[in-house]
Amino acid sequence: MFTRNTPLKIISCLLLAACISFGSFIQTSYAEEDLMDFAKEAGYPIKEGYQPKASIVIDAESGQILWADQPDLAWHPASIAKIMTMYLAFEAMEQGKFTLDTTVVANEKYVNISQIYALSNNKITLGIDYPVRDLLSMMIVPSSNVATLMVANLVSDNDEAAFIHKMNEKAAELGMTNTTYYNSSGAQVSAFEGFYQPEGIDPNGDNLSTARDLAILAYNLIKKYPDVLTYTSQPVVTTMKDTPYAETFETYNYSLPGAKYGYDGVDGLKTGSSPSGGFNYIATAKKGDVRLIEVILGVGDWSDQEGEYERHLAGNAILDHAFSTYEYKKLLSKGPNTINQENIILDEDFYGFVKQNSGPRFALSNGQLTLDNELGQVSPNIPAQSVRYQQSDQKSADTQTDKQAKQKKTQQAPTEKRGHNYLLSGSLAALGILLIAFSRLFRKRISGVRRGSRKTSTTTSRLLCTLGALFILSAIIVIIFL
């Protein structure tokens, strides 16, 4: 039913809805911002339909997440799988199993694989020795499947199935909890026409991973084996130099400076594309002392090769937004600090990433201070940057001061309360006396009027007198009981 209060209720509801909408607008977080909008503003306009299915950006030093959109979406990474093969190759060299100068002889199997048209490859000549350093360049730049298999077999002593098991074991060790490998290069075993048959491995199995897991892999690769960037940073590379088998390749990483969509600071890592995965990309870029790692998955569709370029527009936009939105700086100085109402002493200066024009939040636990980042760490295996602290002696002094202040406030409270009561009592009493005085004045004023009005005036006078008495009684009650 429509009542007199209905318009007021409607207005109140509208105001409440407006407040809720406004609150939602101002609380938009970085990861919820629209990629299409800020990509256009940054000069990297992405066409409709080419937005990545998943993406993530992390700090390459600390593992702190700066951007995340569907980071745990299961996806087929395609040739990005070669990054794990490269990781295991560098690990094997670290263990002394071989060196960059170690050679692999091209046998008939490798020659046959190199001639499979459906696979990305390079020329392999029967009986020629191929140094590991050249095979690594072939893996990264032209994304050669045969070169990848030659390196994998070197690591595993030609046990193809053992190498795939090793890939999965390493993924588990690094904390890549949603990754499964079925092959060493990103191409399904069935695509090798019988020349690559790891025993016990599903030939139609397609590698699965996530943006988060691939960021974890890239983080560990760059952290442990930074020399990998010498193989991923060149837009053009020539392998087997000064031999009759020299080949020159242009990179598929179009975000490298000098390439089609060059972005300042990019120096790796790897692209990948397939019918099941679309167009994917892992990049790393360094500006000043800051290095970021990003993963872009699922741009476009395999049937439309435009995605090969659009993935770099998306990657450049997200990298640019991370670099311009966050800043790495000193957040706290060594020595005394007050954090979360705790007085502490830091052992050293504390640095970290924070959004520009926003204050950092910190967490204190077990003598360690960390940055309380809203997006967290890329992996629980990678702890947040921290600095040791000690409790300050000032804390006990401050606590004692607080207690004394509370006691003083408690002591002052009754006095203040009594003062308020006296003021209230006096006001009530004054008002009562004033009403009684008005009742007497009113009675005298109408004493000369006719008899009919005198009865009414007497009633009014009595009412004023009664109210005055009630106010005086209230004043007495305030003094006695409050």
**pLDDT tens digit string along 74-105?**
999 999 999 999 999 999 999 999 999 999 99
Tell me what pLDDT residue 10 has.
37
In a domain? residue 171 = yes
| Confidence (pLDDT) at 112 | 97
Q: What are the φ and ψ backbone dihedral angles of 344, each rounded to 5 degrees?
A: -130, 165
What does the alpha-carbon distance between residue 98 and residue 93 come to, in Å, rounded to a whole number?
A: 5
Average the pLDDT over 418-438 and give the result. 73
Q: Which helix (H) or strand (E) holds 352?
A: strand 350-355
For residues 299 and 311, is the Cβ–Cβ distance under 8 A? yes
- The Cα 138–Cα 121 span in angstroms is 8
CA dist 367 and 391 (Å) reads: 8
Phi first, then psi: what are they for 261, rounded to 5°? -120, 45
The active-site residue out of 55, 62, 82, 166 is 82
List residues bridging with 67 in a β-sheet. Answer: 57
Is it the case that residue 381 has pLDDT exceeding 80?
yes
Expressed in angstroms, the distance from the first to the final Cα of the chain is 47
Kindly name the residue from 62, 120, 137, 143 that is annotated as catalytic: 143
Contacts of residue 90, Cβ cutoff 8 Å, sequence gap at least 6? 221, 224, 225, 227, 228
170 annotated to a ligand binding site:
no
For 28-59, give one letter per residue: b (16+ CB within 10 A) or e: eebbeeebbebbeebebebeeebbbbbbbbbb
User: Which residue among 55, 62, 79, 233 is the active-site one?
Assistant: 79
- Given a cut of 50, is residue 5 above it in pLDDT? no
Nearest to 429 by CA among 479, 387, 388: 479
Computed over every residue of the chain, the mean pLDDT equals: 84
Residues 6+ apart with CB under 8 A from 458: 443
The Cα 459–Cα 451 span in angstroms is 13
Q: For residue 80, report the phi and psi dihedrals to the nearest 5 degrees.
A: -60, -20
143 is catalytic: yes
Is 324 in the active site? Answer: no
**Average of per-residue pLDDT across 66-72:** 95
Range of the domain at 383: 328-394
Q: Which CATH number characterizes residue 350's domain?
A: 2.30.140.20
Same-domain pairing of 123 and 210: yes
CATH number, domain containing residue 82: 3.40.710.10
Q: Of 394, 426, 452, which marks where a domain is finished? A: 394
- pLDDT value at residue 394: 52
Residue owning tokens 């636990």: 365
Please report the pLDDT score of residue 295 as a whole number: 98
Active site residue 82: yes
Give the mean model confidence (pLDDT) for residues 228-249: 95
Helix spans in 105-159 (H): 108-114, 132-140, 145-156
Asked if residue 8 is part of any domain, the answer here is no
pLDDT at 419 over 80: no
Does some domain include residue 340? yes
pTM score: 0.75
Listed residues 338, 366, 394: the one ending a domain? 394
pLDDT more than 70, % of the chain: 82
In a domain, residue 404? The reply is no
Pairing of strands 278-287, 290-299: antiparallel
Model pLDDT for residues 166-222, shown as the tens digit of each residue: 999 999 999 999 999 999 999 999 999 999 999 999 999 999 999 999 999 999 999
Q: Is residue 106 part of a domain?
A: yes
Answer yes or no: is pLDDT of 136 > 80. Answer: yes
pLDDT digits (tens, 9 = 90+) for 314-361: 999 999 999 998 888 889 999 998 988 889 998 899 988 888 877 888
